[in-house]
């Protein structure tokens, strides 16, 4: 009888420790890196009028995004974010680095800059929606409406 009580006490102790460990690790924050990890020395090695798009792509990889309004010249952006995500609070950006590589019309590097994140703005997405056809019809209604229309 004493051996069974002792085993039960040990089992309760182990279950308590395992449960406490799961709670503690579940509440821990995680730090992750998003985007490319860009070496500053590699960026400094890129020279205007010497390196081409292909050279930059070999050195830094594919850009995170490209410029939309470039006035005929192309701009590539390389973005890195270090984010801390706590389980019970908002995610927090610990570090953000943005490098901008501008190319001239011949595809040669024209300029390389680190974009200052102090100039960044938060843009809130609009809550408005645009109605489109088909939103009010269910899946079955849409399938039945297409019978006989042909391919």
For the chain, the DSSP string reads -HHHHHHHHHHHHHHHHHHHHHHHHHT--EEEEEE----HHHHHH--TTT-BHHHHHHHH-S-SEE-S--TTS-EEEEEEEEEEE-TTS--EEEEEEEEEEEE-TTSBEEEEEEEPGGG----PPP------TTSSS-HHHHHHHHTTS--
Which pLDDT band holds residue 102 (cuts at 50, 70, 90)? very high
Whether residue 105 is predicted with pLDDT greater than 60 in this model: the reply is: yes
- Of 81, 83, 78, 84, nearest to 115 by C-alpha is 78
Q: Within a domain: residue 134?
A: no
pTM metric for this prediction: 0.62
Give the contacts of 97 (CB within 8 A, at least 6 positions apart): 38, 79, 80, 114, 117
pLDDT score for 24 = 63
> For 2-52, how does the pLDDT look when each residue is reduced to its tens digit (9 = 90+)?
566 666 666 676 677 776 666 666 566 788 888 888 888 999 999 999 999
Higher pLDDT, 135 or 112: 112
The answer to whether position 79 is within a domain reads yes
**Domain assignment of residue 129, yes or no:** no
Q: What mean pLDDT is reported for the chain? A: 80
Hey, what are 16's tokens? Answer: 């308590």
Q: Is residue 22 part of a domain?
A: no
142 lies in a domain? no
Whole-number pLDDT of residue 62: 92
The pLDDT tens digits for 68-82 are 776 778 999 998 888
| 81-91 per-position pLDDT tens digit | 888 887 777 77
**Domain residues for 51?**
29-119
* Number of domains within the chain: 1
Does residue 59 fall inside a structural domain? Answer: yes
Q: Is there a domain that residue 41 lies in?
A: yes
pLDDT at 151: 54
The predicted structure's pLDDT at residue 11: 66
Is residue 109 scored above 80 in pLDDT? yes
pLDDT at 108: 93
CATH number where 77 lies: 3.30.1450.10
Domain assignment of residue 49, yes or no: yes
The residue written with tokens 């939103």 in the block is: 135
């Amino acid at each position: 009888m004493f051996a069974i009580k002792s085993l039960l006490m040990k089992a309760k102790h182990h279950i308590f420790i395992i449960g406490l460990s799961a709670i503690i690790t579940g509440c821990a924050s995680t730090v992750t890196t998003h985007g490319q990890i860009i070496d500053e020395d590699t960026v400094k090695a890129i020279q205007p009028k010497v390196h081409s798009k292909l050279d930059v792509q070999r050195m830094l990889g594919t850009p995170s995004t490209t410029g939309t309004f470039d006035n005929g010249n192309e701009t590539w952006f390389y973005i890195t974010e270090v984010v801390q995500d706590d389980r019970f609070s908002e995610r927090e950006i610990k570090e953000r680095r943005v490098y901008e590589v501008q190319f001239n019309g011949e595809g040669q590097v024209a300029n390389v800059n680190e974009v200052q994140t102090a100039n960044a703005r938060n843009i809130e997405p609009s809550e408005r929606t645009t109605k489109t056809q088909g939103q009010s019809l269910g899946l079955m209604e849409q399938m039945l409406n297409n019978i006989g229309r042909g391919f």
